Structure formats: structure tokens, C-alpha cells
Structure 1
Amino acid sequence: MCARVNSLSRRAMFRAGGALAAVAGAGMFGPTAAAQEAGPFAHGVASGDPLPGGVLLWTRVTPVPEAVPGSGLGPDVTVTWEVARDEAFTSVAARGAVTTGPARDHTVKADVAGLEPATWYWYRFAVAGVASPAGRTRTAPAAGAVVERLRFGVVSCSNLQAGHFAAYRHLAQRDDLDLVVHLGDYLYEYGAEDDAVRPHDPPVEMTTLEHYRRRHAQYKSDPDLRALHARVPFAVTWDDHESANDAWSGGAENHTEGTEGTWTARRAAAQQAYAEWMPVRYEPGGRLYRRLAFGTLAELSMLDLRTYRSRQAAHPFDPAIGDPERTIAGAEQLSWLTSGLVTASAQWKLVGNPVMIAPVRFPSTLAPRELDALSRLLGPLLGPPYNVDQWDGYTADRARVLGVLRDHGVRDTVFLTGDIHSAWAAELPADPLTYPLTRESVGAELVCTSVTSDNLDEILGVPPRTGSLAVESAIRLNNPHVRYLDFDSHGYSVLEVTPAAVRMDWFVLADRTDPASPAAHSVSFAVPAGTQRVARTGEALR
């Protein structure tokens, strides 16, 4: 492999990196490197899964022009990296090298260790004398450290065809975030749509490894997403659209055996591309669910609710919904989650949860048009009040989780959820059937809205905050544990964790189709420590 690196000519790098390659003589990390924004590193840099002593670094290199994502072309190359305590890279804390090539689509991961806890670092990569843009990252607090505050960006459901990623731009412009939590649907599998704001590449539905690699590359070509990745470490998990709609362990609603190949092959391609292109400690065949610790203040358990789940129930009357043999999380992951909640040493137990866990009964009084729109937004709603693609369709698993919280007296558990293109603040009833009377809550759930993906107003074809209001009112009336609901807004959330409370601020975009869209604070809800309840709170965090 080293011989192939040496044979990579300066002319080839010039073609890949443009005039910036001319500064190669200034050294591996020359003084002009910080200004580079494209060239061999056109897909940016990223970091993720921070630990007290380390963090995962990511990039993708294009060593020669033909080595485009998904092509399988180009030489193996050695990419160097370094981590510094200062933005000028005068105090280097760690450095190393990684060899990459077409076998992993020229993506690079470096799992850096030996860093100081709770510390900001800057990092960059280089290949053949050309350096990447610099990124910034932060390690987690030391085990047992007393932490007074954490702030996370929380996002999900970012469909490039539906709009621009202004939400990411706003998060990147903040200077108070320790982490961004992406709860799934980081990208979408759909083919190019006629009315797309930005048509997908490739223009077909993703089914092969080449497709998934190209789509990941297209999303990481977005300047706002690149800026956010370069600014803050991420903790990510997948939902369904990283592979196919309503995916389960043996198939997906959006997969046809035969004409689209086998599900096993398609899922393997999706998971390989995800492992290559995302800043996460995951490799194909491993497990995505994991736990990140932040001193004594919080633990964040990131779930995988697609790989192990049983097939969705056929309809809400299906007795399979309550079958204890069916699962959404898989026996091993469910045991890992519940035991972790019981034995956690941190105060706040945060759960990165791709699909909603709070029970939701959909009112039968809604008009057929509204029920149809809800079904298109949330999943199958065949008459009764269930979305069988979320925890409502796997009630035995949910009962086990909520029962563990109740029976072991676990306090301060908050599920952070995406998926359903809407904003919710809800309590988790120990017994949903008696909740209006007993008000026994064992936890809380805060749901972020979509970055761009269609909300109820778009599906209904009505202006925002008009036709959805009656639906929201009816759902809250039938579900007293749901304290807040917004079916229309796009944007992002900011989560603050302190010993006193976990609080989420929702910010909404003026226009998802405008790359320069402003954002405004919409509402804030908090979960005061020890209460397992959600309550509306004041102005946006500063």
C-alpha cells in the first residue's frame, strides 16, 4: 500500500485538489491549509462518540478525480491526521495515519485516545501534502466528574429533496453545544422527485452499495451539514430511511424482493455505507447501540430500533401487537437498555430513541382526510389509535421498559425522539389506561421535529398552523399525558441538561426551502429533576 501512496503523482493531486495542491511544498500541514474547503476533502471532516479520553475522527478523501464516491476506483492512500489543543495547531496532542482506498470508498476513521477530558480540540487530515479544513471537537467529562451543564443539538429527518439544511447552519453558528444528537433519517432512500428542491443523486431509489455511497456523499456535500460536523461532535443512530422505509429485521415496506434484490444484500449495503460515511464507532456486523457518559450528570443510550425488530403488525387490531415474542429492540438490546437504566451512576438517563415510545391514541372523531394525512405522516393507522411502526406496535417491549422504571424507582429518565416530523413533549404513564386518574409517570419524552421532511400541513396541503390545530387538539384531549404537540414546524432543538432539570427548546424555520431561512424560538419544556413530568418554561436558552 505504501508503494501505491508513493506512486500518487503531484499532477494527480493537482487535478484532484486544484490550485491548492501547489502549496504542498509548505509541508504536510502548510500555513494555507486552513483555508481549503474542497479539493481532496470535498466532503468535509467530522467527529463523533466522544469519550473522556478520546473521540472518533472522520473524513473522506478523493485522491484522484476518478475516485468519486461509489465508483470503486482510485488507489489506496495514506491519510495523516493530527489533533491540537489550539486552533493554530501549535500544540499538537496526537497524530497518526490511516490507509484507505476503494474498499471503504476512501473514507477515513481515526479513533483517537490519550486526550484530556472535557476539552476542546482542533483536528485536521492531510494527503500528499494537501490538508483538510480544520474541525473542532470536544471530549466527554471524566468518569465521576461533577458536571454543571451540558447542551446538545437534537435533530432528525433531514430529507435533502424537501428543502435546505438551514437548521444545521443555525446550530453550527451557536457556540454553546457539547454534542449534536442525530436521531435518524440522516438521509433518505427515495429516487429523484419531480418537485424536489434538490433532486437526489443517484436519481433512483437506493438499493446497492454504490447507491448508498453516492447518497451519503451528496448529503455530506451540503455546506451547512459540513459546517455543523466540523464544529461539534455527533452521536448518531439510524432509523429506517438510511436503508428503506419501515425497515424491520427481515424486510421493509419500501423493498420488493426479486426486483430490488434480497433484503439481506440491500441492508448489508446500507449498513456498510453507513459505517464508512458516518462518524460513529460502528463497523458492519457490529452493534450500533451504545452508551456515552458525561460525568455524574448524564448518560446517553443510543438505540438501534431497526436491526432486530419483528415485522410490524398487520393492523392495529392485530393481537400480535401485544405478543411478548415480538420485539422492537431485540432481547439483548432491551436487556442492555433496562439494566443500564437501573444501574446508571449518572443522574439523568437520556435515551436516544428513533421512534416514539409514549402511547398515543388517535381520536376516531377525526375526519377521513385528517386520518389519511396522519397515516401518511406517522405510519399505518388502520382505524384504531395505533402507529404500529413505533413502540405502540410492540407493547410488550414498552411495558417491560416502563415497568423497570416503575418497579426499580428509576428517576430522571428522558427519551429523546425523532422520526415523526413533529414536536412533542409527553409524560410516560406507568399505566396508560388509568393515567388520567393516577397521573403516575415514570419518565418523559421530548420529540424533535424534522429538519426538512414533510409535516402534516404539507400533507394536508394547508398553510401552517391552520388545519393541523384541530388534529393537535383532538390528540391532546385523547392523550392527557401529551403536554405539547406541533405537527407543522421544521427546525431543530437545543437540549440543556443541569442537575435541576432537562429542558428542550424548539426552534422553527421560516421556510425550509430557503437556504438562508431565519429561525425563531417556538416553545420550551422542562423535566424538573425527580418529577418525571414535563412543564412549559420560559424564554430561549442563551
Structure 2
Amino acid sequence: MTTRRNLLRTSAALSVAAPVLAHAARATAAPTPGGTGDRRVFAHGVASGDPLPDRVILWTRITATPAATPGSGHGPSSAVTWEIARDESFGTVVASGSAQAVADADFTVKVDAGGLSPDTRYAYRFRVTSGPASGAVSPIGHTRTAPATDADVSRVRFGVVSCANWEAGYFGAYRHLRNHPDLTAIVHLGDYLYEYGTGEYTGKTGVVRTHAPRHEIVSLADYRIRHAQYKTDPDLAELHRRLPWICTWDDHESANDSWRGGAENHQASEGDWAARKAASERAYYEWMPVRPAADAGGRHLYRRLRFGTLLELSMLDLRTYRDEQVSMTSRDIDAPNRSITGAAQMNWLTNGLTSSATRWKIVGNPVMITPVVIPPLDQKNTAAITEMLGLPEGGLPYNPDQWDGYTADRRRLLDTIRSRHVDNVVFITGDIHSSWACDIPVDAAAYPGGGTVATELVATSVTSSNIDDIVKVPEHTAGSVVSSALTAVNRHVRWNDFDAHGYSVFTVTPAAAQMDWYFLNDKTDPKSGQYLAKSYRVGNGTQRVSPAAGPIER
């Protein structure tokens, strides 16, 4: 089976060999959360997320005693109060409440703070009111509610990130992102953390800083410890403190290339998959500022947030309900009963897109939906050959872990968008450790004459290995060769960069949706600079990406 790791290795093999880079110098500065407050008790900072017009999730963790380390289960319970005010002076508190930090939730505190005004910036803080840490006050966090659902909104701006591997580098992308003006929220599209043991997935950098625990995480305690470690990164902690986040998971929050019955990186010796997945989900819900949706079947992570009449953001979960991945040469790729979303999530997604009253329909998409095949085949003329050879009818997919491995689900979704005349659907995507700007064609083999259904803009990894990292060559040598080859046969892929790390800024106005890609100079340098790499926009009503002259100004 083609996994993402094997996929990147295979892509690298297509390139021309280049000299190996020497390992970069490692920085050893100890990370501490940003802001003011008691950094011993609030060692993992504060965070907010999932903003609605009248409420927002607030999060923190209480370390009441030195023994109350994450995952240990040791330590006393603490009573905690929270306050939200219009400014940092907290002269007028607009909302407040109380909560408990208990061992059963790893002493994390998460509240759904209501009674707020739409489209308003707030300051918030926590205070411990009982136990050995009584009197301790958290750093002051900042958050922002969503506009009212009927508000005429002129602009929404998201920071977009994915794939941050602690061991592979420093999170300079988070540091630079927080300096962008007027961000509404941060959208994290998955792989917030990585499950691997030390040294298992770093590429040419080697281990820049060591995972805790050092072994692959499997148990509930393991996942809690790993979440806690990531929350101590100073750039991640500061970005959480300053802005609300909207997050979904991909596979590494549990295990590589996961599906509903297992994962590529889960072996029988590691116990029952269902137990491991449940442990990973529990730790995620404890440690992340997310508001899971609920229905008769329980809670789920796919959910929708609205920002006035301008846009709705549908955040997907493409791991929990999917069928197992198959080989890139398997005709089962086209099987009508194979699903990446599961039936309930597909109905939720299509119903939401077709009924939306907003101008833009944005889909937070953990894995790529654009067809990337070698080469795209005209199914009418090649069906006899592909059937005889037992191959996928549209061509060999570059990565069957993506929607390319679940073509029936993709067809169901895109046919609905097209037949119901839904305009302005833009997928913003992570996972693939590279940057893409794509038209999503009706028929990849007939592009551009066959028309387009939607567009996709893909953010690169914060640190996780790209082609150059895996084959240990300078950036934009090996990856450039692969990029040229893929875009030559997939003409709907308008731009691609396989090597650089960084983040994106995604700005939506009534006239256009635009993504700007920013790349780091060196992910192994905690003080790395950055540069603007590319900007692409989707004009209102066009269903096409086109180059933009530069970022949208304030």
C-alpha cells in the first residue's frame, strides 16, 4: 500500500540526485509559554477556539503541584474561575464562571463561555480558587467572536497551518503568523502533533529536539504527555494565547494513515486499535480548544462555523469513518461502496453546501481532493484497457490516501456541487507537506475544456518532512523536478511547491478568496526569517484559481 511516507520517497526517486546537506546547528533554548501570569501553575498556557457569535471555547491546564505532570494522574483537584472582559484591565467583566481541574481530565479546563457579543475582541483569564495553587492567575488570553449570522462582513482572514512535527524543527511558522494584522482565527487542518518515537520521522535535519515520551505514543498517558509537550513550545503557546483556533485532526493525532479499523502505523503488538484511537481522541478533546458537535450517535469533530453572510467553514474529519486505503493500482479505488467521509458526514457536508446562505463555502479539508493522477485518463476511451488490466479508471493516483483513493465519494460530492449550481466552494487543505493551487475539474482528462467545479488551496507543513528532507538535498532541487513532472500532466494543478515549510494566510472578501504562502528560511533555526512565496486568488463566481499580484492589504 502506498503510504504518505512511501509516497514522498517515491516522488524523491523521480528527481535528479543532489549533494546531501550538512546537519544544521541545533538551538537549545528552553521553551516557555508567552504572556504574563503564573507560569508554573499555568505551564501550558491558555487557548481559545471555535468562535460563534455569542460564545467561544476557553482552555487551560492547572499544574497545582510539581507531581501533577501530564499523564501521571497525580495531584489534587482545583477549583478554577474564568473571566472575560473587553480589555486587559478587566474593569468590566462581561462573562464569568467556574470549573474544576480534575485528574480524570488530566487537570485540563475547558469551558464554553457564552453571553458574548458578535464580532468582538475579548480578553480572558483563569484563576485558581482552591488547593495548593490557590490564587494563581493565568496569562491573559485574547480571543474574538464570530460575526452575527446575518452580518454584512467585508473580510475574514484566517491563518492556515498543518503538519507540525516537534522533532523536525522549530515552530517559526507560528511565530511569524501571529504578526499578521487583523487575523480572525487560526485554522489548523491536522497533524497538530506526531505520534512517532524519537528519530523515526525527521529526514535530513535529524532530531532537532526530542519527543516526550521518547517512544511511540500508544496509551492515554502517552498522548497526554505528547500534547502537553507541544503546548510548551513558545511560538505555539503565544499564537494560542493571542487568537482563537479552529482545528481538526488528520492521522498523526492517532497514528499514520489511520482508517476506521486500524492504521499503517499500528501493529497488533501495540494492543487493540479501537482502544488506542479512543485514547487519542480523549486526549485531543481534553487538550484542544475544540467544540465537538453532538447528535444521537454521540459527539463528532466535523462541524460548521459561520462568519456573517460572507462564508461558512465546514471542518471535516477524514480519518474516523473512512474505509481502508488500497494500492494505487487497485481497481477498488473506484468501488461505489468505499467512503472517505462515511455516509453521515457526507450527507451533512452536501446538505450544508447546498443550503448555505453565505457567498463563500469554505471546506477545511485534511487531505487533498484535487485529482492528481499519472496521467489523467479519458474514461470513455480507455475504459476497456483499464478494466482489462484491473486499474483505476481515471489513471494511477499519486496518493490513494487522499480523496484520489475514494473516487466514488469524490464524485458524489462534486456532482452535487455541480448539479445544484453551488458557487464559490473552496477547499483549504493540509496533510501533504507541500503547497498547491488547483482547479478541481469536472474531468481531469478534459481540463480545461470540461469545466471546473471548485478550487483547492493547500498549505505546506510547519516542519514535517518534505521531499528535500527525505532525500537529504537542498530545497528546490529534487522537489522542483517532481513538481514540473506532475503539473505537466495534471494541468488543473496551477502551481505547486514540494519543498518549503511555513504557513498560509487565507483572506475572504465578497470579491475573492485568496491564499498567500509564506515560507521559512530554515526550520531548524528558532529565529528563522521568512519570505512571501506565492499568492493565488479565486474570483467570485469563477471556480478558477489565478495568480495574484501580492497579499491583500489591510
Match of 1:472 among 483, 488, 494: 483
- 1:363 deviates by 5.7
Match status 1:268 vs 2:275: no
Deviation sequence 1:357-408 (CA, Å, 0-9, x none): 00001469xxxxxxxxxxxxxxxxxx93331101000000000111011101
Paired residue type of 1:322 = D
Match of 2:184 among 178, 182, 186: 178
Greater relative contact order, per chain length (Cα 8 Å cut-off, separation 6+): 2
- Separation in structure 2 between the aligned mates of residue 475 and residue 500 of structure 1, nearest angstrom: 31
- 1:200 deviates by 0.4
Paired residue for 1:23? none
- 1:539 deviates by 1.9
Q: What secondary structure sits across from 2:110 in the alignment?
A: strand
Match of 1:333 among 345, 352, 360: 345
CA, structure 1 residues 283+502, in 2 after alignment: closer, same or farther (shift >3 Å)?
closer
Do 1:359 and 1:432's aligned partners in 2 also have CA atoms closer than 8 Å?
A: yes
Paired residue for 1:281? 291
Deviation sequence 1:78-120 (CA, Å, 0-9, x none): 1110000112111211010001211000000110111000000
- Separation in structure 1 between the aligned mates of residue 233 and residue 162 of structure 2, nearest angstrom: 16
Q: TM-score, normalised by structure 1?
A: 0.88
Q: Which runs of 5+ in 1 are unaligned?
A: 1-32, 365-382
RMSD: 1.5
Deviation sequence 1:264-305 (CA, Å, 0-9, x none): 110010000000000001389510000000000000000000
Paired residue type of 2:522 = D
Question: Number of paired residues?
Answer: 489
CA, structure 1 residues 425+99, in 2 after alignment: closer, same or farther (shift >3 Å)?
same
Match of 1:310 among 308, 320, 323: 323
Paired residue type of 1:434 = A
CA, structure 1 residues 362+502, in 2 after alignment: closer, same or farther (shift >3 Å)?
same
Do 1:508 and 1:520's aligned partners in 2 also have CA atoms closer than 8 Å?
A: yes
Q: TM-score, normalised by structure 2?
A: 0.86
Paired residue for 2:148? 142
- 1:34 deviates by 6.9
Do 2:439 and 2:494's aligned partners in 1 also have CA atoms closer than 8 Å?
A: yes
Paired residue for 2:169? 163
Do 2:82 and 2:97's aligned partners in 1 also have CA atoms closer than 8 Å?
A: yes
Do 2:435 and 2:459's aligned partners in 1 also have CA atoms closer than 8 Å?
A: yes
Percent of aligned pairs sharing the same letter: 57
Match of 1:193 among 199, 202, 210: 199
- 1:540 deviates by 2.6
Deviation sequence 1:109-147 (CA, Å, 0-9, x none): 110111000000000101111100000000000011000
- Give 4+ residue runs of structure 1 displaced > 4 Å after superposition: none
- Separation in structure 2 between the aligned mates of residue 34 and residue 311 of structure 1, nearest angstrom: 44
Deviation sequence 1:243-281 (CA, Å, 0-9, x none): 000000000000002x10100110010000000000001
Do 1:386 and 1:393's aligned partners in 2 also have CA atoms closer than 8 Å?
A: no
Q: What secondary structure sits across from 2:51 in the alignment?
A: strand
- 1:38 deviates by 1.0
Q: Which runs of 5+ in 2 are unaligned?
A: 1-33, 129-133, 201-205, 377-394
Query: Residues 421-436 of structure 1: matches in 2 within 5 Å?
Result: 421-436=433-448
Do 2:38 and 2:137's aligned partners in 1 also have CA atoms closer than 8 Å?
A: no
Deviation sequence 1:450-483 (CA, Å, 0-9, x none): 0000111112222111222121111111101100
- Separation in structure 1 between the aligned mates of residue 415 and residue 317 of structure 2, nearest angstrom: 21
- Separation in structure 2 between the aligned mates of residue 133 and residue 177 of structure 1, nearest angstrom: 20
Query: Residues 478-517 of structure 1: matches in 2 within 5 Å?
Result: 478-517=489-528
- Separation in structure 1 between the aligned mates of residue 102 and residue 76 of structure 2, nearest angstrom: 6
Match of 1:247 among 252, 258, 263: 258
Do 1:37 and 1:44's aligned partners in 2 also have CA atoms closer than 8 Å?
A: no
- Separation in structure 2 between the aligned mates of residue 172 and residue 505 of structure 1, nearest angstrom: 15
Paired residue type of 1:309 = R
Paired residue for 2:428? 416
Paired residue for 2:248? 237
Deviation sequence 1:403-429 (CA, Å, 0-9, x none): 011101100000000000000000111
- Separation in structure 1 between the aligned mates of residue 331 and residue 169 of structure 2, nearest angstrom: 40
Do 2:171 and 2:523's aligned partners in 1 also have CA atoms closer than 8 Å?
A: yes
Deviation sequence 1:204-232 (CA, Å, 0-9, x none): 00100010000000000000000000011
- Separation in structure 2 between the aligned mates of residue 87 and residue 432 of structure 1, nearest angstrom: 53
